[in-house]
Chains A and B, each alone.
Chain A
């Protein structure tokens, strides 16, 4: 339902192979540095392993989540990068009343803070829970990963992808999907057979490969339909309904009042009294 057609195959996308992630947090720090985000005051331990801060926020656009557990007596120590999924058809863009979000042709879903009114519809709508509120400010807006849009416009890669020595590959969505399929095919014993983000929310610009089952790691189960399509179902009917129902009601009203109109016209014709004379006689 967007007015400009985007070729999703050509959008720049992340392939995050968590089987290659060592949980070094280079991506987390690179993001902070590039965006000049404040460090949060943290204490140990807020969740599994060494993960910190406890959640993403206005100051933390990406975070490595740790999983540290045992399965059939074997240790599982896994890491994955939570971040904005830069959906093909973003829910945030769809619900925003002032159009502060939009999906760029290059891939990132960007955000114009000059338009934001801080209503937080996007926070409700996002199935991944990404946009975060500026609780610390008197005039709060919403914040999230920018996809390093300014960097990729200059031909650079996002800060996190640049810092990562192992897990993150960055390129056209179709190429990233091909690479993901290739890895799944070549080493089926290494991977859980799924590419998270291929179809979730209708497809996103962040694709994950994992070894452990997705729900075991903590990935949210998200519908495969683009989120806007849910509301589009209803919204697209609005003009029709407006015209249809409104028009029908107007027609009925017109019909209902027609008898009165005809009666008054008849009365007027029969009385041969001018309205002013009629009044003098009352």
Chain B
């Protein structure tokens, strides 16, 4: 989130799209309802009338996979009706920037599309620079190649009629949503946009998110109290996972993982350190060299020195992607010998589960680490297979739950809250920290003894987490924060600071490129300092009344609760909304009051030291026009890979960059219905924990699907009947719930029905049922490869048959 949970109470309008907080983050509704008590409007856009929709002032139905059409329509509505926050757009976004004259968009494709490789050349979308090397700007926003005019032109095609023909929404509902939310474009109004998997799990998922960000920038809602682009994370510590770079292409702190052609540290820094010639741009990623060096020092300690590139050569380099679906694909070909699954359940958690289950059988060995056995740990005895046919050796390691161990959990709002151990782990179960520590110690010992091929990346690691049976999580946290490797004197403006070797680094601006600092994750620098564990703070004071609670735990970066908050004030430093002053420049004291400012520099107008608000981008301005998205600088509506409809906006049916797996089908005769998956309050993820808890099983005991009354009538299905749902990938049995909360969608004049289903069920646990992911496809987003779980084609018939 750019903002955080409690900040929701400050909103005037809350747009819920592609998420369902009432069901999946019920406690968040406390803050949403507080906002509503104070007059805020709740707007829900969803294919179904969910428990979130039941509380909404405005609800609009949306066809799965058509979010860009809907959001593009809202962008168009805001532009056409002059509802944008004009000063914000002109001064803080790249609206005024001029694009090079080669740029073009025609009939569904941007310029430079290579039909063979199915890629674009991103350089063809670049800004036009002036002599000094900075992007040219037209502050009147009239230049035909200004981002503003190009944006207007692009989304002029997204008029309400066209949008509704695509999304299936009733026009009056769409207009009601647009009017209610775009009313927050006023400087004294705040709109917050909440999203989750409905937005991300698509072949154009990244562009969906881009569209939300663009809408919010046009309305001036980024960086203000009650605003923001706010992702509802789906696991208690997935924010922590992404912060620490657990995906193959990132390193801790959102640094890029090196590729095979970043041959040395210099080449890496060259490629990934953005440059700017504009003194007003903070260009914070320009500090990349300090962060990568400090990370290497944290990992390799004294072994990492300038002479050996700080052990940069020990980092694995990737060439082709190692995203989830790719791993499963390679596993299926027998290319992977062993797999360790920690709290992960590929037998039903990922798409195309039949394929995943078969692939697991190709492994030589598998280790699963969970609280209970899962579908993955017993994949070899799943219904329909003979264990004798599977040669995988499976090890099940019992894991301790979150209340049986100490450590931090980072929530959606970037707050890292320290948790304590309440009870000893049950039986022989162990914390993940203990398990990983043991893995490392034993592998390191084997490499030391047997040498092996290129053992140094493991044998030279600095691994100092105490000598106790359980590694000391405080030592881990301190290492993440980072410390000085030698005595240092740092001059910061008018302060001279003395640090001793071994002192914790107080904040990331003191991290160095020369090896004199370490930091396991630069964005967490400041979380564990000489003043102690900031994440463990529990002071409930809230001086601004905006719910910032600055002394309750610690959030990254530098405990700044709302990021990009320099955009909440005018270029002079005065809050756009004096009733909710997030930060304000005190000209007498020459400092900012309120939240931690997004850089201590004076307001933007200050000639000498003022900075633009969007400090993480090289040009310092929010990107209405993107420079680094593989599939286009503007989000463009394409149909989901399996779709019942022709793309009404252009000749290009689907995202042109996406490779289509073999088992994808748009045969609407065979599969005339739209299928979509989602989660419920009562179960969680693959049900590994919830489907074995009797009190939860009592609430939701069976796998079910939800269908409309008209579809039920057509197929002769009554509530409680067993049904079979099929797709190109597989078939499942479920109980039917017939409800008016699902309705057919009016797609370009034709009614199209949907089948909705939770994906929590599997063949392991107290409550069993067929897995929805047997039906979904692995086809994924052009930028991130996240599978398109939310929109596929299926069919349904009365009468079940177990998968």
Contacts and interface: CB of A to CB of B under 8 A. Distances in A.
Chain B residues touching A, majority SS: mixed
Interface string A1-36: 000000000000000000110111110110011000
Interface in B1-44: 22-23, 26-27, 29-30, 33
B55 A22 contact: yes
Contact of A39 (B697, B739, B741): B697
B29 A32 contact: no
Given A24-B26, A45-B720, A166-B33, A77 B53 contact: yes
Given A50-B680, A68-B741, A77-B741, A24 B23 contact: yes
A45 B49 CA distance: 18
B696 A68 contact: no
Interface string B47-61: 001111111000100
Given A26-B26, A45-B737, A77-B49, A53 B698 contact: yes
Nearest to A25: B699
Contacts of B739: 49, 68
A113 interface: no
Nearest to B21: A22
The winner among A23, A68, A75 for most chain B CB atoms within 10 A is A75
B700 A75 contact: no
A20 B699 contact: no
Contacts of B51: 22-24, 77, 79
Interface residues of A, number: 33
A43 interface: yes
Chain A residues touching B, majority SS: loop
A277 B59 CA distance: 110
Interface in B522-576: none
Contact of B695 (A29, A50, A77, A166): A29
A23 B737 CA distance: 17
A255 interface: no
A42 interface: yes
A249 to B, nearest CB: 60
B740 A33 contact: no
Q: How large is the interface on B (under 10, 10 to 19, 20 to 34, 35 or more residues)?
A: 35 or more
Given A75-B53, A77-B49, A45 B735 contact: yes
B699 A28 contact: yes
Nearest to B50: A77
B740 A43 contact: no
A40 B697 CA distance: 9
Given A75-B49, A75-B59, A44 B737 contact: yes
A232 interface: no
B701 A166 contact: no
A42 B698 CA distance: 6
A52 interface: yes
Nearest to B720: A45
Contacts of B23: 22, 24
B334 interface: no
A70 B26 contact: no
A77 B706 CA distance: 14
A83 to B, nearest CB: 16
B681 interface: yes
Nearest to B30: A165
B501 interface: no
Interface in B193-230: none
Given A40-B698, A75-B59, 9 more contacts: A22-B54, A25-B699, A29-B696, A44-B704, A50-B699, A53-B698, A68-B741, A76-B54, A79-B51
22 contacts: A19-B55, A23-B54, A24-B26, A25-B682, A25-B699, A29-B696, A33-B695, A38-B694, A39-B697, A39-B698, A41-B701, A42-B698, A42-B699, A44-B735, A52-B700, A68-B739, A69-B740, A77-B49, A78-B54, A79-B54, A166-B30, A166-B33
Interface of B: 22-23, 26-27, 29-30, 33, 49-55, 59, 680-682, 694-702, 704, 719-720, 735, 737, 739-741
User: Lowest 10 CB-CB distances: which A-B pairs, in order?
Assistant: A39-B694, A77-B54, A22-B22, A24-B26, A39-B698, A165-B27, A165-B30, A44-B702, A75-B49, A70-B740
